[in-house]
Structure 1
Amino acid sequence: MMRQDAWTEEEDVLLAETVLAFVREGSTQLRAFEEVGKKLSRTAAACGFRWNAYVRKTYERELELAKQQRKKKKEPQPSERDMTLQDVISFLQTLQQRGEGKQEIEQLRQQVCTLQKEKEELEKQLQALQQEYKAIMHILERARQLSV
């Protein structure tokens, strides 16, 4: 079963091309994530996570080439002092969303454990009921044989 919000190959390509273009032009990856997020109706954090967790590994060479092209253009990379308030807010929101995602994962793991224990208990109950059923059927069969 595929997740409804699973990334498609086309979305991965759009993410990669946008990030590489932004890097080439001397912009930040965060701005690329924001732009892709708007196009795909996803958060910038989701785009950043997908880039770092999966897509970047596929595009390592292209990313290095984009960085070299940026250096050749001699466009200064924005320093931390050049960050806007919106950049800082976006960064902090990304960090917060990652933390919330970790909490959600832990809650889901706990829920899986609880459900596994419940399943095991239900299987034990089923097995006990099946044994009782067999015993009753055996008693009924013997009673039928005695009455004949």
Structure 2
Amino acid sequence: MQEARKDGWKSDEDHLLAEIVLRHIREKSSQLVAFNEAAQQLGRTESACGFRWNSQIRKQYVTEVEAAKQERKQSPNAKQVTQQIKVSTILEETEQEYMPDYMEQIIVLADKQKQLIINMANQISNLKEQLQQKDAELEELKKNAQQNITEETLKEDFETLLQIFHRAKQLT
């Protein structure tokens, strides 16, 4: 790394610093990034470039700064456009290279899912039939239990009545 310059600023260096900062403003980049780029090109520190811009040059380029800000508002970021182009290119290449394989895999997976759903529907149907049979058996068991209770009650009541008659006969 080279030693940072400490000599005075020349007008062409001021102009280059201004061009770099204005370009970064237009491209929606930060001034810190601009100062970094200017420092590398001018052989000065980022701090020196930032101080020079804020203390001297910015005042001379007020209209250019406003114009750059307006241009930034109206046009998309160059980095964003480049990134969008890269992303769309990658997507297109990916689609061309891998889409047939993915489509086949998706179709196979969809067929498997369809078969699973059909099997599950059949199982549900079978379970419904079994449930109906069990409900019918349960109703039959309830009727039988009710009859058993009624028969037992009648038997007990009949035996009690016989005992009452037997006592009455003994008492007379």
TM class by smaller structure:
0.3 to 0.5
Whose Rg is larger? 2
The two structures have a TM-score, normalised by structure 1, of: 0.47
Greater RCO, CA 8 A, separation 6+: 1
Structure with greater helix percent: 2
